Amino acid sequence: MSHTIDFDTSASGFPPLRGATSSEDVVELILRHVDSGQLPPGSRLPTIRSITDSSGLSFRTVSSAWRVLRDRGVIETRRRGGSFVVDPATAPGRAPAVVESRPVLTDLSLLHADRYLLPDLRDALESALTDPALNAPTREPITPRLLSSAQPTWPFEAESFLASGGGAEAVLLSIVANTEPGDLVALDEPTQPGLLQRLAALGRRLIGVELDEQGPVPGSLRIALDAGARVYVFQVHAPFALSGHPSSSRVDELGSLLASADTVIVEDDSVGPLARRDVATFGRTLPEQVVHVRTYCRSYGPDLRTSVIGGPERLLTRIADARSHGVAATSRILQDALSHLIDDPNAKRKLATAAQAYSARGESLIAALRAQGLEASRGPEGHVAWVPVADEQRALLRLAAEGILVGAGSRAFATPAARGYLRIVTLNLSDDPEEVARIARAIVHATTSADPSDHYD
């Protein structure tokens, strides 16, 4: 990094940042002071707003840094209590490492599509501007054009459809609309850390459903249903699973359990059109219980901010009412642009190329890690690679010192995991075998070296 960043120690309390210009700078600075003990475990951090006021950094920059630090298990945010440096004494198996910080070169912690593999939006947006209903004062749940594109590819015959915002919003909305604070939500795990954090902040209780090679484990789901789960969140393609993919026979077995339960099933199809396998769904046998959420952000880019929800009208009415108290609507332009992309042959070819690239990237990292004797896994439709570690926090900090950001696997479990994991998003992994090998060596070194000050190179 070409400039030096540090605390302005002349300020009272938690001093402002000095010299930081990006979220990576802020992450590096906080890590350095956690390692040195200047920010000891349990330290309360100021609010994001107060930091932006004192440092001149944007709210987005600081909040992005806080998100990375949370995902990696360095800080935690308590409901109405603020953010604190994680105390290793209350997080068994995690201890801070004393490391020398280096520039952040590779960020494998965030679940974002590779922008260079996304279809061009220009034709789609131009096509959307031809809708004769553009700027009409009335609003429908979904435009006729998007409905005509999404419905033929839906995995079951849904009674009703609704266009919503981005996938994370749509899944969260589908859960919250069908629960109350204090209700129990069951989720396949591991899952998205952000979803767990938001549900907990909204007062929902969480219970994890274990996955194996065939999908959710029936006994684990039974425990969740017996405990009174009001909603079950099912990963139809298991993109966050340690391994495996839901099989049709397993879905049939689980369906018999769910049929006798008063539980709404929220199917999270976050892989969307990138999927290379048939979608697993309960909608064909339990259509009155299933809300299927299909996300297009990873396929066509986050700026479209449009997903499609299909299911029984009574459940979708709840979801529509819960979205900004029923007054929100998704732009016709974005909906019809999405419709264009779903039907466009060029976009389909681009998607096929992206799906192949994402799969190859994930497999290349797994192969590189295994070649060096390290245990690692991912599912067939996985966007995340998992590496079990004895000391999660130390491994995270050691990798950060080498300029590599990955996620804290423990944050992806509703039920505390028996072991720690590195959560490595492979969507933006390099296609260069030498770079993949370098990252693999750094991961091996971070998880095996006893000396926290020793760099792998």
pLDDT for 58: 78
pLDDT for 182: 97
Q: Give a three-class secondary structure readout of the chain.
A: CCCCCEECCCCCCCCCEECCCCHHHHHHHHHHHHHHCCCCCCCEECCHHHHHHHHCCCHHHHHHHHHHHHHCCCEEEECCCEEEECCHHHCCCCCCCCCCCCCCCEECCCCCCCHHHCCCCHHHHHHHCCCCCCCCCCCCCCCHHHHHHHHHHCCCCCCEEEEECCHHHHHHHHHHCCCCCCCEEEEEECCCHHHHHHHHHCCCEEEEEEEECCEECHHHHHHHHHCCEEEEEEECCCCCCCCCCCCHHHHHHHHHHHHCCCCEEEEEECCHHHCCCCCCCCCCCCCCCEEEEEECHHHHCHHHCCEEEEECHHHHHHHHHHHHHHCCCCCHHHHHHHHHHHHCHHHHHHHHHHHHHHHHHHHHHHHHHHHCCCCCECCCCCCEEEEEECCHHHHHHHHHHCCEECEEHHHHCCCCCCCEEEEEECCCCCCCHHHHHHHHHHHHHHHHCCCCCCCCC
Give the mean model confidence (pLDDT) for residues 436-455: 78
Q: How confident is the model at residue 299 (pLDDT cuts 50, 70, 90)?
A: very high
Please determine, for residue 438, whether its predicted confidence score (pLDDT) is greater than 90: yes
Is 202 contained in some domain? yes
Please determine, for residue 9, whether its predicted confidence score (pLDDT) is greater than 60: no
Q: How confident is the model at residue 1 (pLDDT cuts 50, 70, 90)?
A: very low
Is 424 contained in some domain? yes
Domain match, 168 and 293 both? yes
Domain match, 151 and 291 both? yes
pLDDT for 93: 40
Domain match, 409 and 313 both? no
Domain match, 137 and 59 both? no
C-alpha distance from residue 150 to each of 61, 257, 330, 340, 396 (Å): 36, 29, 15, 11, 41
Q: Of 12-16, 384-388, 436-440, 445-449, which gets the smallest average pLDDT?
A: 12-16
pLDDT for 50: 80
Output the six-digit token pair for 317: 């009415």
Q: Which of 343, 363, 384 is the last residue of a domain?
A: 343
C-alpha distance from residue 379 to each of 55, 275, 366 (Å): 42, 12, 11
Domain match, 259 and 146 both? yes
Is 102 contained in some domain? no
Is 227 contained in some domain? yes
Query: Which CATH number belongs to the domain containing residue 334 in this structure?
Result: 3.40.640.10
Q: Which of 297, 322, 343 is the last residue of a domain?
A: 343
Q: Give pLDDT tens digits for 368-404.
A: 999 999 999 999 999 999 999 999 988 998 898 888 9
Q: Give pLDDT tens digits for 240-288.
A: 999 999 999 999 999 999 999 999 999 999 999 999 999 999 999 999 9
Most confident of the following: 29-33, 403-407, 448-452: 403-407
Domain match, 174 and 186 both? yes
Query: Which CATH number belongs to the domain containing residue 69 in this structure?
Result: 1.10.10.10
Domain match, 59 and 173 both? no
Quote the domain boundaries for residue 399. Answer: 107-115+347-448
Give the mean model confidence (pLDDT) for residues 312-338: 90
CA nearest to 124, candidates 351, 331, 300, 353: 300
Q: Which of 343, 374, 404 is the last residue of a domain?
A: 343
Domain match, 297 and 215 both? yes
Is 457 contained in some domain? no
Domain match, 246 and 329 both? yes
Domain match, 291 and 165 both? yes
Q: What is the largest CA-CA distance in the chain?
A: 66
Domain match, 351 and 387 both? yes
Is 68 contained in some domain? yes
The chain-wide mean pLDDT, for the chain, equals: 87
pLDDT for 101: 44
Is 99 contained in some domain? no
Query: What is the rounded distance in angstroms from the CA atom of residue 301 to the CA atom of residue 303?
Result: 6
Domain match, 172 and 191 both? yes
Query: What is the rounded distance in angstroms from the CA atom of residue 51 to the CA atom of residue 59?
Result: 8
pLDDT for 90: 55
pLDDT for 288: 97
Is 20 contained in some domain? yes
pLDDT for 36: 63
pLDDT for 69: 85
Query: Which CATH number belongs to the domain containing residue 394 in this structure?
Result: 3.90.1150.10
pLDDT for 89: 53
The neighbour count for residue 132, using CB atoms within 10 Å, is: 5
Give the mean model confidence (pLDDT) for residues 103-115: 83
Q: Give pLDDT tens digits for 191-247.
A: 999 999 999 999 999 999 999 999 999 999 999 999 999 999 999 999 999 999 999
Number of domains in the chain: 3
Q: Give pLDDT tens digits for 73-88.
A: 788 887 666 888 887 5
